[in-house]
Amino acid sequence: MLKLQNIDAYYGFIHALKNININIKKGEIVTILGANGAGKTSTLKVISGLLKPQKGKIKFNNKSFNKYTPEKIVSEGIIQSPEGRQIFPELSVEENLKAGAYTRKDRNNIENSLEEVYNYFPILKERKKQYAGTLSGGEQQMLAIARALMAKPKILLLDEPSLGLAPIIVKEIFQIIKDINKEGTTVLLVEQNAYQALSIADYGYILETGKVVLEGNSKELLVNTDIKKAYLGGN
Ligand code: ATP
CA of 72 to the centre of ligand 1 (A): 24
Convert the pLDDT of each residue in 120-156 to its tens digit. Answer: 999 999 999 999 999 999 999 999 999 999 999 999 9
The pLDDT of residue 108 is 79
Q: How far apart are CA 130 and CA 142, in angstroms?
A: 14
d(CA 146, CA 140): 10
Q: Which among 97, 88, 91 has a CA at the least distance from the CA of 116?
A: 97
pLDDT tens track for 168-209: 999 999 999 999 999 999 999 999 888 899 999 999 999 999
pLDDT at 106: 79
Atom of ligand 1 nearest to the CA of 190: 7
Residue having the nearest C-alpha atom to atom 27 of ligand 1: 11
DSSP states along 180-215: HHHTT-EEEEEES-HHHHHHH-SEEEEEETTEEEEE
Asked whether the predicted pLDDT for residue 86 surpasses 70, the reply is: yes
End-to-end CA distance of the chain: 36
Residue 131, strand partner residues = 92
Mean pLDDT taken over the chain? 92
Question: Looking at residue 223, what is its pLDDT?
Answer: 87
Residue 153 CB less than 6 A away from ligand 1: no
Ligand 1 centroid to residue 32 C-alpha, Å: 14
pTM listed for this prediction: 0.93
Predicted pLDDT at 235: 46
Give the start-to-end residue ranges of the domains of the chain: 1-67+156-166+185-235, 78-152
Non-local (6+) Cβ contacts of 99 within 8 A are: 88, 91, 147
Homologous superfamily assigned to 1-67+156-166+185-235: P-loop containing nucleotide triphosphate hydrolases (3.40.50.300)
Closest ligand 1 atom to Cα of 160: 2
Q: Across residues 216-233, what is the average pLDDT?
A: 81
In angstroms, rounded to a whole number, what is the distance separating the alpha carbons of residues 76 and 79? Answer: 9
> Atom 29, ligand 1: which residue's CA is nearest?
11
Residue 228: the pLDDT is: 73
| Residue 84 near ligand 1, beta carbon < 6 Å | no
How long a stretch of residues is the chain?
235
Residue of 36, 80, 158 best suited for mutating to test ligand 1, as the one with most atoms within 8 Å of CB = 36
Contacts of residue 179, Cβ cutoff 8 Å, sequence gap at least 6: 120
Assess whether pLDDT exceeds 70 at residue 72. yes
Residue 127 DSSP code = T
pLDDT tens, position by position, 49-69: 999 999 999 999 999 999 999
